[in-house]
Structure 1
Amino acid sequence: MYQTTSKKTPWIFCKDIINHPQKAMAWVWGYISCKHSMMYTLFVYTLLLILVLLYYVNHRESEPNHDETFKAKVQQSFIKFVEENMPKRDQNKETRAVYSMRTMSSNGSLLEDEHAKILKQRAGDIQREYIGFKNKKPFNFHCDKCAVVASSGQLLHSNSGQEIDNATCVIRMNNAPTIHYEKDVGARTDIRLVCFRSIDFMNKDTLMIGKARFDKMVIWGMENPKHKKIKETFTSKFIRKYPGVDYYSLSNSGEKKATRLYEEYLGMDRLKSNSWLSTGWFTMLFAVNMCDSITVYGLPDGNQCSAGSKKSILYHYYEKRYDECWMYNQHETRMKTGHRYLTEKAVFKQWAQMFNISFKAPAWNLTNVNASEPIKSPFISKMEKIGKKRTKR
């Protein structure tokens, strides 16, 4: 007798999957292995894709926004710190002294000359924390005229190269190259101040020998106990590969001193405000103590960003990756961790009023800058608004 074998139609197959979603994968693979028809295989894959998409959409709608949740937690962290510390600064002289650079000036007790004297002394204390790898002695070097070269795309077509090379000492940051950019950034380098994270990028002959060779590399962040492996690699490989350079590393206590100074200007704890210090911060502190006069090239004050300029400028003259204003605004105003570039620049403006510091390519507007007043920046304004909202509650 002729007997037909039962087989599942596509509709029955769909019902099975819907009624038993946990067995969907087993059905799919079993069905594909039994049926070699291209049409059935295509049907199964399409159905599976639809089910996955439906699950994903429903899951996304039902679960909380993790990014917003994280942002709210960070805001709460900021608010808690503001409540605990900011109001206390106005109660008495002892608590105001906790954040002396910001709070003493707000009450008129820190004159510009006193501010400059204190800063010079503390910058010197920090510089003496840079210890040589070879001689184990503190960095001790003085220069009358320094060119500090940053990395803004505004250096391109500036024709600043010859002027930079005419300085007594040329200080560059991280792995910013000179080869192929000599006309705009100069060819000479005497000192490179490098973040511990940029050491790997420095491992290039085009930065360490030949025309790009320099005398001293000054590193910050490497003595932090958390960065022990970076130091071991640097000592065992990097120094052996390039032995002709004098290497100095900022001690962990020196880094804490630099951090403390930043916190005093900011008026709040660096970690609790989720702020990173930049190489620019360490470089300017370094130059303030070492140099009699400082000309800074390629470090914008950020005014072009607040003015709403639509012209795109490279964040680094040697990298075509990020827009300068986008980078500044992201780091300055977002609530997650980041560099507070515009806040640091607000501090540098005060330093320019106290010391022989000028800015070129681009030039800075230093009118209406008072070194005896608290600094102002988008980041600080945002934090103060958070504190006021919390107080009203």
Structure 2
Amino acid sequence: MHCRSCALVTSSGHLLGSKQGDRIDEAECVIRMNDAPTRGYGRDVGNRTSLRVIAHSSIQRILRNRNELLNMSHGAVFIFWGPSSYMRRDGKGLVYNNLQLMNQILPQLKAYMISRHKMLQFDDLFKRETGKDRKISNTWLSTGWFTMTIALELCDRINVYGMVPPDFCRDPNHLSVPYHYYEPLGPDECTMYISHERGRKGSHHRFITEKRVFENWARTFNIHFFQPHWKPEPLTASEPGVKAAV
């Protein structure tokens, strides 16, 4: 798969009322995450799907909503990620077993799993970019991390919709939006980001740290951010790289 232009559509509440749908659908490839729906939200998030990156924790919701998410995504590719124990092929791998079930229901489905070797590469990339070991810092890489990294391999240009800059939530007057555009009564986005970033007990996503990495990548790669629209500031001499908060 190779795309000259990609629309990477987040699940952020910043997309509500954005009217970005037509612009998103103009991209050669449209990339979505987990079970984020398009039906009923097309005006803001578009209707096309070329690639959907799905976490192991979302696979049951994908199965429940398969008529909408799978049947409506004609020709789309689905990539599933999760711990290696979920990918086992000996009957004990939850993701693998569910993918076999999905293949029986929808034999035309183009579904793939991220291999253990590739997962280790993602871990190494996180450590290289942040200086922190993912496991030691009790960090789970987010679906956004996998999606952005996969997009870098596939796309010449990436337009990201709905991703805020890393310091957005520090502003006391920041806009409050739901974490998911399709769950308007769900948790607040910045509350979710900050709680995960500061969490030390148990495993957490480091959403803000990941956004610092994405901001840094955008200085080198053809990545652009919309809704909200922002552009990374040039690094100063005292900022040689990403400052990790994990």
Q: TM-score, normalised by structure 2?
A: 0.90
Letter in 1 for 2:106: Y
Give 3-state SS (helix, strand or coil) of 2:179's partner: strand
Judged with a 3 Å threshold, the aligned counterparts in structure 2 of structure 1 residues 302 and 322 are, in CA distance, closer, same or farther, namely farther
State the match for 1:254 in structure 2. Answer: 118
Judged with a 3 Å threshold, the aligned counterparts in structure 2 of structure 1 residues 349 and 207 are, in CA distance, closer, same or farther, namely same
State the match for 2:204 in structure 1. Answer: 338
State the match for 1:286 in structure 2. Answer: 150
Q: How many residues are treated as equivalent by the alignment?
A: 237
Judged with a 3 Å threshold, the aligned counterparts in structure 2 of structure 1 residues 232 and 190 are, in CA distance, closer, same or farther, namely closer
Letter in 1 for 2:190: C
State the match for 1:315 in structure 2. Answer: 179
Q: Is the 8 A contact 2:31 2:51 kept in 1?
A: yes
Q: Which residues of structure 1 form unaligned runs of 5+?
A: 1-140, 381-393
Give 3-state SS (helix, strand or coil) of 1:316's partner: coil
Identity %: 39
State the match for 2:94 in structure 1. Answer: 230
State the match for 2:192 in structure 1. Answer: 327
- Aligned partner (choices 209, 212, 222) of residue 71 of structure 2: 209
Judged with a 3 Å threshold, the aligned counterparts in structure 2 of structure 1 residues 321 and 144 are, in CA distance, closer, same or farther, namely same
Deviation at 1:200, TM superposition (A): 1.1
- Aligned partner (choices 222, 226, 237) of residue 360 of structure 1: 226
Letter in 2 for 1:353: R
State the match for 1:170 in structure 2. Answer: 30
Q: Is the 8 A contact 1:152 1:300 kept in 2?
A: no
Judged with a 3 Å threshold, the aligned counterparts in structure 2 of structure 1 residues 340 and 174 are, in CA distance, closer, same or farther, namely same
Letter in 2 for 1:225: S
State the match for 2:214 in structure 1. Answer: 348
Deviation at 1:290, TM superposition (A): 0.8
Judged with a 3 Å threshold, the aligned counterparts in structure 2 of structure 1 residues 370 and 185 are, in CA distance, closer, same or farther, namely farther
Q: Which residues of structure 2 form unaligned runs of 5+?
A: none
Please, what is the CA RMSD of the aligned residues? 1.8
Distance in 2 separating the partners of 1:344 and 1:287: 15
Give 3-state SS (helix, strand or coil) of 1:293's partner: strand
State the match for 1:99 in structure 2. Answer: none
- Aligned partner (choices 233, 248, 264) of residue 128 of structure 2: 264
Give 3-state SS (helix, strand or coil) of 2:149's partner: helix
Judged with a 3 Å threshold, the aligned counterparts in structure 2 of structure 1 residues 153 and 369 are, in CA distance, closer, same or farther, namely farther
Between Structure 1 and Structure 2, whose CA radius of gyration is higher?
1
* Higher relative contact order, structure no. (Cα contacts within 8 Å, ≥ 6 residues apart): 2
Deviation at 1:310, TM superposition (A): 5.7
Distance in 2 separating the partners of 1:191 and 1:169: 7
Q: Is the 8 A contact 1:165 1:188 kept in 2?
A: yes
- Superimposed CA distance per residue, residues 347-388 of structure 1 (whole angstroms, 9 cap, x where no aligned partner): 1011111111100011224113469822124x25xxxxxxxx
Deviating above 4 A after TM superposition, structure 1's stretches of 4 or more consecutive aligned residues are none
Deviation at 1:237, TM superposition (A): 1.2
Distance in 2 separating the partners of 1:298 and 1:311: 13
- Aligned partner (choices 227, 236, 244) of residue 108 of structure 2: 244
- Aligned partner (choices 195, 219, 228) of residue 80 of structure 2: 219
Q: Does 1:295 align with 2:162?
A: no
Q: Is the 8 A contact 1:220 1:250 kept in 2?
A: yes
State the match for 1:195 in structure 2. Answer: 55
Deviation at 1:247, TM superposition (A): 1.2
Q: TM-score, normalised by structure 1?
A: 0.57
Within-5 A mapping of 1:30-109: none
Judged with a 3 Å threshold, the aligned counterparts in structure 2 of structure 1 residues 370 and 251 are, in CA distance, closer, same or farther, namely farther
Deviation at 1:233, TM superposition (A): 2.4
Give 3-state SS (helix, strand or coil) of 2:147's partner: helix
Judged with a 3 Å threshold, the aligned counterparts in structure 2 of structure 1 residues 214 and 184 are, in CA distance, closer, same or farther, namely farther
